[in-house]
């Protein structure tokens, strides 16, 4: 199976989203958890943004040794030099540079033409390579960039020594088929691409970030960029836990392996929520509190007999609490009887019918019943 690199940007892209700001100590705590989780590359921050960001990156770089520590920079000397200062003391460091390449961004955001952008990319990549042998380049807004020009920008970065080429769907615009085709085109047309790791970075504006990331892997990406709980600007980034478990559960479709300790997925999700004070929605895949909960009587009956009938993964596999049978108005006799038996009150036959009728009346207002209510 092909080894897939996991690049976590919770501390950089994720922390940019409103309400997710963390102190330097909190960032270090999460970085150490990501290291234990088995993340290959941790994007620790944007050192040029502020002295606090620089100090936070330096703190992580000195103390996290198993994962590569990445820092982000615009294609400017000052940003790249700040990244180099941030990585002092890092055992494994990466400088990640970016420049918008779509005509929309070049004209209306940067106010430069295509040729000037190419010159900036070449100069910045050369400078980054002076400070690090591990350099990643991202043509920002790649999915809305003219494909011929995208190949040009990619070629310049590769020629100047970039070791990773990230093709971001910056505004969550692409469809899976389009995104995969873009990777296949770059692989086919950029010279020397076989010596470079292709990377996917997807936003979730249309709810397609995970689907697009998986399509990119099929198109040749060897690295995927994501965040815990899918946090990030606007609608967020591709969800770390969903990508990892999609690859694990559907290994017949995605024959890749990662270095992730899956049993630490749920604890890491909970840690991020605790640090930021922002929880995940109940129906969030993999880590939401309803991800392994069942209220429908038909589903509960199946789970009681064999949990595989309605669970394609176990809560234990991601370190989550055990399966919950939520007893509400959609629950059936089997679930009520099973829970009562667990509580030491086995009932059957006419007694069960009587109890179940009372149970349904108690649930008339849609409220789930706890164990004390059931007893």
Domains belonging to the chain, first-starting first, are 2-276 (3.20.20.70), 303-374 (no CATH)
Would you state the pLDDT for residue 373? 83
> CB within 8 A of 375, min separation 6: which ones?
340, 343, 345
pTM score, whole prediction = 0.88
| CA proximity to 137, closest of 145, 146, 128 | 128
Per-10-residue mean pLDDT, the chain, length 375: 96 87 94 98 96 95 98 98 97 98 96 98 98 98 98 98 98 98 98 97 98 98 98 96 98 97 97 92 91 69 74 90 76 85 87 89 79 81
Would you state the pLDDT for residue 328? 81
Q: SS3 of 260, please?
A: coil
From CA 192, how far away is CA 72, in angstroms rounded?
A: 24
From CA 219, how far away is CA 271, in angstroms rounded?
A: 33
108 DSSP 8-state letter: I
From CA 107, how far away is CA 95, in angstroms rounded?
A: 26
Would you state the pLDDT for residue 33? 98
Condensed to tens digits (0 to 9), the pLDDT of residues 18-73 reads: 778 899 999 999 999 999 999 999 999 999 999 999 999 999 999 999 999 999 99
């Amino acid at each position: 199976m092909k080894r897939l690199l996991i690049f976590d940007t919770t501390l950089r892209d994720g922390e940019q989203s409103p309400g997710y700001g963390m102190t330097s100590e909190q960032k270090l705590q999460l970085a150490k958890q990501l290291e234990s989780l088995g993340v290959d590359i941790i994007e620790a921050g944007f050192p040029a943004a502020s002295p606090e960001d620089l100090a936070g990156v330096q703190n992580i770089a000195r103390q996290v040794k198993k994962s590569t520590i990445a820092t982000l920079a615009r294609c400017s000397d000052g940003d790249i030099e700040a990244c180099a200062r941030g990585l002092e003391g890092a055992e494994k460091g990466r400088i990640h540079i970016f420049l918008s390449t779509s005509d929309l961004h070049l004209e209306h955001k940067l106010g430069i033409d295509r040729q000037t952008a190419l010159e900036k990319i070449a100069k910045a990549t050369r400078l980054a390579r002076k400070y690090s042998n591990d350099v990643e380049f991202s043509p920002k807004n790649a999915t809305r960039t003219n494909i011929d020009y995208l190949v040009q920008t990619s070629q310049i970065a590769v020629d100047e020594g970039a070791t990773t080429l990230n093709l971001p769907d910056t505004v969550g615009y692409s469809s899976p088929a389009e995104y995969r085709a873009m990777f296949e085109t770059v692989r086919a047309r950029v010279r020397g691409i076989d010596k470079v790791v292709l990377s996917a970075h997807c936003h979730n504006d249309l709810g397609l970030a995970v689907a697009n990331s998986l399509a990119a892997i099929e198109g040749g990406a060897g690295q995927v960029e994501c965040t815990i709980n899918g946090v990030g600007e606007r609608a967020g980034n591709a969800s770390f836990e969903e990508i990892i478990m999609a690859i694990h559960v559907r290994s017949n479709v995605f024959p890749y392996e990662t270095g992730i300790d899956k049993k630490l997925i749920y604890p890491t999700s909970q840690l991020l929520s605790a640090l930021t004070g922002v929880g995940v929605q109940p129906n969030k895949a993999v880590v939401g509190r309803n991800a392994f909960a069942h209220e429908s009587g038909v589903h509960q009956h199946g789970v009681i007999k064999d949990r595989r009938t309605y669970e394609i993964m176990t809560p234990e596999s991601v370190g989550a609490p055990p399966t919950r049978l939520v007893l509400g108005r959609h629950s059936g006799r089997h679930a009520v009887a099973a829970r009562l038996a667990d509580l030491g009150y086995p009932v059957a036959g006419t007694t069960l019918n009587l109890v179940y009728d009372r149970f349904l009346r108690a649930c008339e207002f849609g409220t789930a019943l706890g164990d004390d209510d059931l007893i």
